[in-house]
């Protein structure tokens, strides 16, 4: 297994709390954090009726940048090495795919996320990730 910790982030306080725990662990064990933001695929037939592909891409990019901004700042303050990844699709599937592709040591997730309107639904996704992951998954409850 690699020396990486995967942290899915959606901008929620739950995800940022999980990131703090992961950053402390990464610093202690000299590991890299992989920040992952998953955006739903908004490029559907109905969406294309009203918006161009470029508008959809721009909106998705804005959501992703919003979700990642605090997380990037947090990791810079901790002084740990990190990569930023953005994927489009089902959050559970994309988290598991990224974990496999990067051969991560573990996944650290918040117990709940922002909800479907804002991006990744970590709360409902966490159960699927726990059951299907081939690496350890840490669900960090807020305030713990």
Give per-residue pLDDT as tens, 52-67: 888 888 989 999 999 9
- Strand runs labelled E in 24-143: 32-39, 82-88, 106-110, 137-140
**Average model confidence (pLDDT) across the chain:** 88
Residue 73 has pLDDT above 80, yes or no: yes
Q: How many domains is the chain built from?
A: 1
Domain span including residue 36: 4-140
d(CA 39, CA 89): 6
- Identify the pLDDT of residue 45: 79
CATH number at residue 117: 3.40.50.620
- The predicted-structure confidence for 77-115, as pLDDT tens digits, reads as follows 999 999 999 999 999 999 999 999 999 999 999 886 554
Q: Is the pLDDT of residue 126 over 70?
A: yes
Residue pair 25/18 in contact (Cβ under 8 Å)? The answer is no
């Amino acid at each position: 297994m690699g020396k990486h910790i995967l942290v899915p982030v959606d901008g929620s306080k739950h995800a940022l709390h999980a990131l703090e725990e992961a950053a402390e662990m990464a610093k202690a064990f000299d590991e890299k954090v992989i920040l992952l933001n998953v955006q739903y695929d908004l490029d559907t037939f109905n969406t294309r009726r009203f918006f161009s592909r470029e508008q959809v891409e721009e909106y998705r990019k804005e959501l992703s940048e919003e979700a990642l901004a605090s997380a990037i700042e947090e990791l810079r303050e901790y002084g740990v090495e990190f990569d930023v990844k953005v994927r489009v699709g089902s959050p559970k599937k994309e988290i598991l795919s990224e974990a496999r592709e990067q051969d991560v040591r573990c996944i650290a997730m918040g117990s709940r996320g922002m909800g479907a309107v804002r991006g990744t639904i970590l709360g409902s996704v966490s159960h699927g990730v726990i059951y299907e992951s081939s690496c350890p998954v840490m669900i960090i409850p807020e305030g713990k």
